[in-house]
Chain A
Amino acid sequence: DGGITQSPKYLFRKEGQNVTLSCEQNLNHDAMYWYRQDPGQGLRLIYYSQIVNDFQKGDIAEGYSVSREKKESFPLTVTSAQKNPTAFYLCASSIDYIRGTQETQYFGPGTRLLVL
């Protein structure tokens, strides 16, 4: 059963703590993305990766870090530098990164991050 998974579903962060959100896909997609969604808002791009061992900053990368050591995995770390981390985080993947044409993105179920 192919798809994209995220864990955990809910995550609690204490003040000054780094937390890591997991994203795994078995769709054999090259490109992966992390988005942040605030209540009643659209999606804002945090980081994206076109290929293994490569990633680029999106619109709101400050306070976040990523790695792409394996094709199927793209974890996101929310660092203590991110002062307002409470949000719904969505991971997505696509066959290839957009080059002149849009590619359908497949989304995971999301992780809701809350600050204690």
Chain B
Amino acid sequence: SQQGEEDPQALSIQEGENATMNCSYKTSINNLQWYRQNSGRGLVHLILIRSNEREKHSGRLRVTLDTSKKSSSLLITASRAADTASYFCATAVEMNRDDKIIFGKGTRLHILP
């Protein structure tokens, strides 16, 4: 897998159900972020979880991080039509003196009415 790879590529669920997306990465990270992108729009930052954290909540969002497995998950509870979007994880990779963020290809989430 490449750095910051989301799984599944696409997900369709009924409104009201929970949606879970996963992100796997290859190298050590300091932090991992999740972003949302509505069709044809820019990305919106959702949540940042640091390497020493295991779980973080923000409203209906829950993010977990397992550094031993090099993976993270994003859970959206009680999904709504407005949650239909693509979701990207972003990991920082140390390159020479600086870190740079690498975005995965995203999970396309579709909430069915």
Contacts and interface: CB of A to CB of B under 8 A. Distances in A.
A104 B100 contact: no
Contacts of B104: 42
Contacts of B45: 104-106
A61 to B, nearest CB: 13
A90 B43 contact: yes
Interface residues on A, range: 20 to 34
B41 A101 contact: no
Contacts of B94: 100
Contacts of A48: 100
Chain A at the B interface: SS class = loop
Contact of B105 (A35, A41, A101, A110): A41
B11 interface: no
A104 to B, nearest CB: 5
B106 A98 contact: no
B85 interface: no
A102 B40 contact: no
Given A42-B103, A98-B98, A102-B92, A110 B48 contact: no
A93 B80 CA distance: 29
Contacts of A101: 30-31, 92, 99
B31 A42 contact: no
A40 interface: yes
Contacts of A4: 42
Given A40-B105, A41-B105, A43-B88, A100 B99 contact: yes
B33 interface: yes
Interface string A6-17: 100000000000
A81 to B, nearest CB: 24
A108 interface: yes
Given A43-B88, A102-B90, A110-B42, 7 more contacts: A42-B88, A99-B99, A100-B30, A100-B94, A101-B30, A102-B32, A102-B92
Q: 4 closest Cβ contacts across the A-B interface? A: A107-B42, A98-B99, A102-B31, A43-B103
